[in-house]
């Protein structure tokens, strides 16, 4: 899955990989009259269900962790679900009799894994969604064949927000013989009940099910096509003031259970046979090709059944189906689908998709195993994209590119996200992690290989250079927190599973895979991947399986000796939290250089206790690549030495002189920071500040040096004067990647100083750095160089943010010309790559009329990329009441902003100084309403809080957040722990560094 990609621009952790695929089910509120009697009865029923739920959690939940087959456990305090529902009932009617988990107490869950007593073999699933407004329900009928591997007295599977109407179970034969339908024996059921806090549905029997026997379970049920973008849900779009509805799915990680009762864990792979009922004027899609369509269904007028080919073995979270009136374009086995009005915008996706798929078939040396692949752009989608096998789903903005409106740079975004999802067809779909603890095997590989695929499509993007500043450096910041987590992390319930879809699983996973490729070499790396994928095809795996195959390849190629293995190296990176800083200390007399490692964190070990986190010093296997000023060979990234899980390593260098520098971690391929002795830092600073020599250090290492220096200073491990002196060379820097890294690091200082009395000192220094590059980028056409376009966007955005007069005047002039045009919805002469900077600047410094102009363009826009820019720009306003109104519209049904974009709006507003307090006040006053509107889990609410307080740097801010958490939040959340830690690190920074930086800035600006 690609977490909401637009949030990458806002530094969101996946929320994804955030504002993510994490929105949860809710119920539509179509409106009805409520009497006092109804209120009284409803409250009474609610209190009864609440008490029952608590008893269930205490009694059955505890039992289930010990032995969920226990007959005693199963008899305690259950909620029967036996009322049938017909398709004439509305979603609101169903809500009254289905126990939705948001209405039940769930904070005491500890482990909700299924018992290992059986394994599903085959599903037959029939679904009939009703897309009449005011109904939005679906009927379901699922038949599951299971192999019982251990005698037991119940069947426990997953189901939630479903109304079960009938259950039957048959014994159909021995698993070693062919089943005989004539020998089917129906099994007596003694009880059936939901354990909703754990999302279980349990079927009890008076006698044991036999080991090594095949049983068949048939369940009929009804559910709701919800509006919270999870499970089986509804979406819509409008044409000529007419709303058109569609039914779509999003199951990762734990939401297939919202569409049908199932064994909803990744290890329970099975084959699927799907039938979808649809209106005759619509089309149905699923993972496999359609093989048959029935005649009109006799008892449901206007509907037909579509039958799909049986699938290969796959996990439930990869199942998908869509019912819509969309149109398509096709290229053999590859097709793209959109709403009819947007079909032409899918042409680019159809061009690059088959090329990327073909590339990965050759790269992995394994053919894509399904007969077709559909990609579909959905109007409402909580994630950025989802890799459902054979039916990949996207947000419109991540798949569509309109040549007339979208910025040319949007092509890279579309290509990389398509590449990300297509990599998953092997990593995740063909071979699946046995449990979510190894999610990084999916997302880390996809996040790395998307750059490899994009680099193949358009090498001029220099995607592998961008990887450093897009993936590695941002995740190093998050991983510097005590409240980070291991890549391979224990998770046990849906909430904790959702929390690990973050930059650690995606970005750090990608970074250590890149590091591994460089120390193994590409050839050995690819051979090991091929062996791993071939051996585990249609099966599940753990990281140990991958280590085994890579080690074998390394031994065969003599990259490693027989005493070295990948597991020993890589477990130090996947099972330990955080990363090291390598301290490089030179003896300028003996020419011995010592490489010593220590854990890199922003807060001191003695402060971890205040976060209720235990500090553990860790040691890593660290590949050391390096070069010197005389050698200057940055291409050989294979390690010359290792720190082999020890504290330090020393080596004598014969060919280095005292006046030449050493640079460690070539091209930033290792996942660690480097700190040098003061003399070596000074040698680097002098070399960089010389216009004739700085470019001999490759752009990626210039980016690494700047990022390491400023972040080391931020953590108190390097004098800020040394780090800031290094930035002075930027006056001559002309490459995108170093500037991207520098701006990211400088933006932190900007955020800390922006509300203080000395901010003008920073602005003046920043102006002096960007003056040359600003003039260059604004006077040069983009041409065919995408990195020049990226550079222009970043530099002009920074200049306008600082209030650089030329940038403001130019942006306001372009905006006024557009605003005064005869038909602004059709004619916009602002260069697409520059539109956000122009829009944001106009909203920030312009009038209310300009904001209203942007809002009207947003409401009229039909191209998703343009709507996204306009939505972000509206958050740039400095008017508090306008920002509050924007938040209100984003969090209100029919407010004009899709629910999928709520998190984007809140984060965008809180990214601007005037918006921080507005967002916090709005969240504080509307906490319960927002939770209800978004639905469970509460993680998206926590992400909003994290962004509101991300730049907070006073004890007052810390007290406000902690008091709010105490009053409103009962469960523990890693996201909120990270928010608290971020404030504490910012407070420390202000106390330790603010005065030093002000003094340095005063001295520098005096000489300018």
| Tokens linked to 133 | 């407004």
Place of tokens 């005491």: 108
> How far apart are the C-alpha atoms of 686 and 979, rounded to whole Å?
38
> How far apart are the C-alpha atoms of 161 and 100, rounded to whole Å?
5
What CA–CA distances, in Å, run from 62 to 412, 435, 864? 50, 21, 47
Q: Is-contact 774 932, C-beta < 8 A?
A: no
Residue 130 phi, psi (nearest 5): -110, 120
What CA–CA distances, in Å, run from 199 to 95, 574, 933? 16, 30, 21
The residue among 610, 648, 657 whose CA lies nearest residue 630 is: 657
CA dihedral 875, 877, 882, 886 (to 10 degrees): -10
Burial group, residue 207, by CB count within 10 angstroms (0-12, 13-18, 19+): exposed
| Tokens linked to 268 | 């329970």
What CA–CA distances, in Å, run from 795 to 22, 364, 728, 972? 33, 39, 16, 40
> How far apart are the C-alpha atoms of 904 and 872, rounded to whole Å?
8
Residue 127 phi, psi (nearest 5): -130, 140
Q: Is-contact 85 163, C-beta < 8 A?
A: yes
As beta bridge partners, residue 284 has 323
Q: Is 522 helix (H, G, I), strand (E, B) or coil?
A: helix
Buried b (16+ CB within 10 A) or exposed e, 879-893: beebbbbbbebbbee
> What DSSP state is assigned to residue 933?
H
Please state whether 302 falls in left (phi above 0), alpha (psi between -120 and 50) or beta: left
CA dihedral 81, 84, 88, 93 (to 10 degrees): -30
Quick one: the chain helix, strand, coil %, rounded to 5?
45, 20, 35
Q: Is 786 helix (H, G, I), strand (E, B) or coil?
A: helix
Q: Which residues are catalytic?
A: 421
> How far apart are the C-alpha atoms of 929 and 923, rounded to whole Å?
9
What's CA 537's distance to the chain center, in Å?
Answer: 26
The residue among 412, 490, 512 whose CA lies nearest residue 8 is: 412
> How far apart are the C-alpha atoms of 642 and 541, rounded to whole Å?
29
> How far apart are the C-alpha atoms of 59 and 63, rounded to whole Å?
6
| Tokens linked to 897 | 């902003």
The residue among 901, 944, 941 whose CA lies nearest residue 380 is: 901
As beta bridge partners, residue 238 has 243
Contacts of 295-299 spanning 24+ positions with Cβ under 8 A: none
> How far apart are the C-alpha atoms of 304 and 296, rounded to whole Å?
5
As beta bridge partners, residue 154 has 204
What's CA 739's distance to the chain center, in Å?
Answer: 25
> How far apart are the C-alpha atoms of 858 and 867, rounded to whole Å?
5
Burial group, residue 460, by CB count within 10 angstroms (0-12, 13-18, 19+): exposed
> How far apart are the C-alpha atoms of 527 and 506, rounded to whole Å?
23
Sequence-ordered list of residues with C-beta below 8 angstroms from that of 812, at least 6 positions apart, any chain: 841, 842, 845, 846
What's CA 867's distance to the chain center, in Å?
Answer: 21
């Amino acid at each position: 899955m690609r977490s909401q990609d637009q949030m990458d621009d806002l530094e969101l952790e996946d929320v994804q990989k955030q504002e993510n695929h994490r929105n949860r089910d809710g119920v539509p509120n179509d409106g009805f009259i409520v009497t006092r009697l109804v209120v009284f009865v409803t409250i009474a029923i609610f209190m009864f269900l609440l008490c029952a739920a608590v008893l269930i959690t205490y009694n059955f939940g505890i039992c289930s962790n010990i032995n969920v087959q226990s007959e005693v456990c199963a008899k305690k305090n259950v909620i029967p679900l036996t009322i049938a529902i017909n398709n004439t009932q509305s979603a609101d009617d169903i809500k009254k009799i289905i126990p939705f988990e948001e209405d039940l107490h769930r904070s005491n869950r500890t482990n909700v894994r299924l018992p290992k007593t059986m394994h599903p073999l085959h599903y037959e699933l029939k679904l009939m969604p009703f897309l009449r407004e005011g109904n939005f329900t679906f009927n379901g009928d699922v038949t599951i064949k299971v192999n019982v591997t251990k005698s037991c007295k119940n069947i426990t599977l997953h189901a939630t927000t479903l109304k079960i109407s009938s259950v039957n179970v048959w014994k159909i034969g021995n698993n070693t013989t062919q089943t005989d339908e004539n020998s089917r024996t129906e099994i007596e059921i003694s009880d059936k009940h939901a354990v909703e806090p754990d999302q279980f549905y349990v079927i009890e029997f008076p006698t044991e099910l036999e080991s090594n026997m095949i049983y068949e379970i048939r369940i009929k049920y009804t559910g709701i096509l919800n509006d919270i973008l999870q499970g089986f849900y509804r979406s819509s779009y409008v044409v000529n003031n007419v709303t058109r509805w569609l039914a779509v799915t999003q199951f990762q990680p734990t939401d297939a259970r919202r569409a049908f009762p199932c064994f909803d864990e990744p290890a329970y792979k099975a084959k699927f046979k799907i039938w979808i009922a649809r209106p005759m004027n619509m089309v149905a899609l699923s993972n496999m090709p359609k093989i048959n369509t029935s005649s009109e269904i006799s008892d449901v007028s206007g509907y037909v059944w579509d039958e799909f080919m049986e699938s290969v073995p796959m996990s439930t979270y990869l199942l998908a189906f869509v019912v819509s009136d969309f149109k398509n374009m096709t290229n053999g086995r590859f097709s793209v689908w959109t709403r009819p009005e947007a079909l032409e915008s899918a042409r680019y996706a159809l061009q690059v998709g088959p090329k990327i798929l073909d590339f990965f078939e050759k790269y992995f040396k394994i053919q894509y195993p399904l007969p077709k692949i559909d990609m579909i752009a959905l109007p409402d989608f909580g994630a950025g994209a989802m890799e459902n096998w054979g039916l990949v789903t996207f947000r419109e903005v991540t798949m569509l590119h309109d040549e007339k409106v979208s910025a040319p740079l949007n092509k890279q975004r579309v290509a990389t996200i398509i590449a990300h999802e297509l990599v998953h067809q092997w990593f995740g779909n063909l071979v699946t992690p046995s449990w979510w603890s190894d999610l990084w095997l999916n997302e880390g590989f996809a996040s790395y290989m998307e750059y490899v695929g994009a680099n193949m499509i358009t090498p001029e993007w220099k995607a592998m250079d961008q990887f450093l500043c897009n993936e590695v450096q941002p995740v190093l910041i998050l991983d510097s927190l005590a409240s980070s987590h291991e890549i391979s992390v224990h998770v046990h319930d849906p909430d904790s599973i959702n929390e690990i879809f973050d930059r650690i699983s995606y970005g750090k996973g990608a970074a250590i895979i890149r590091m591994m490729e460089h120390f193994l070499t590409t050839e050995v790396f690819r051979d090991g991947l091929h062996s791993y994928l071939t051996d585990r095809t249609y099966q599940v795996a753990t990281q140990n399986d991958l280590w085994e195959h890579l080690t074998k390849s390394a031994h065969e190629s003599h990259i490693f000796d027989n005493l070295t293995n990948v597991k020993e190296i890589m477990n130090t990176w996947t099972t330990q939290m955080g990363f090291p800083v390598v301290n490089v200390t030179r003896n300028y007399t003996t020419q011995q250089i010592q490489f010593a490692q220590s854990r890199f964190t922003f807060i001191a070990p003695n402060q971890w206790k205040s976060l209720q986190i235990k500090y553990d010093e860790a040691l890593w296997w660290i590949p050391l690549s390096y070069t010197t000023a005389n050698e200057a060979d940055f291409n050989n990234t294979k390690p010359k030495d290792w720190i082999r899980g020890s504290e330090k390593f020393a080596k004598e260098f014969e060919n280095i002189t005292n006046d030449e520098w050493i640079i460690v971690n070539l091209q930033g391929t290792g996942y660690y920071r480097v700190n040098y002795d003061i003399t070596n830092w000074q040698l680097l600073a002098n070399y960089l500040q010389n216009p004739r020599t700085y470019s001999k250090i490759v752009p990626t290492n210039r980016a690494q040096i700047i990022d390491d220096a400023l972040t080391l200073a931020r953590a108190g491990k390097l004098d800020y004067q040394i780090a800031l002196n290094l930035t002075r060379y930027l006056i001559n820097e002309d490459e995108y990647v170093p500037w991207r890294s520098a701006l990211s690091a400088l933006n932190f200082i900007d955020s800390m100083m922006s509300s203080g009395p000395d901010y003008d000192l920073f602005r003046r220094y920043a102006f002096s750095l960007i003056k040359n590059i600003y003039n260059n980028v604004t006077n040069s056409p983009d041409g065919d160089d995408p990195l020049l376009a990226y550079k222009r966007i970043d530099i002009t955005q920074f200049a306008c943010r600082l209030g650089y007069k030329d940038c403001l005047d130019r942006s306001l002039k372009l905006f006024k010309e557009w605003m005064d045009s005869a038909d602004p919805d059709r004619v916009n002469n602002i260069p697409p790559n520059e539109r956000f900077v122009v829009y944001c600047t106009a909203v920030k410094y312009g009038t209310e009329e300009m904001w209203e102009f942007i809002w009207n363009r947003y409401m009229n826009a039909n191209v998703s990329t343009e709507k996204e820019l306009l939505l972000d720009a509206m958050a740039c306003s400095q008017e508090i009441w306008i920002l509050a109104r924007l938040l209100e519209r984003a969090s209100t049904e029919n407010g004009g902003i899709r629910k999928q974009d709520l998190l984007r709006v809140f984060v965008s507003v809180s990214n601007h100084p005037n918006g921080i307090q507005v967002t916090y006040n709005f969240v504080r006053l509307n906490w319960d309403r927002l939770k209800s509107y978004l639905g469970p889990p509460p993680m998206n609410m926590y992400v909003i809080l994290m962004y509101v307080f991300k730049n907070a740097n006073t004890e007052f801010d810390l007290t406000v957040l902690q008091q709010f958490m105490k009053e409103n939040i009962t469960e523990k959340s890693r996201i909120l722990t990270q928010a608290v830690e971020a404030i504490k690190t910012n407070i420390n920074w202000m106390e330790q560094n603010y005065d030093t930086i002000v003094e340095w800035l005063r001295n520098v600006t005096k000489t300018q």
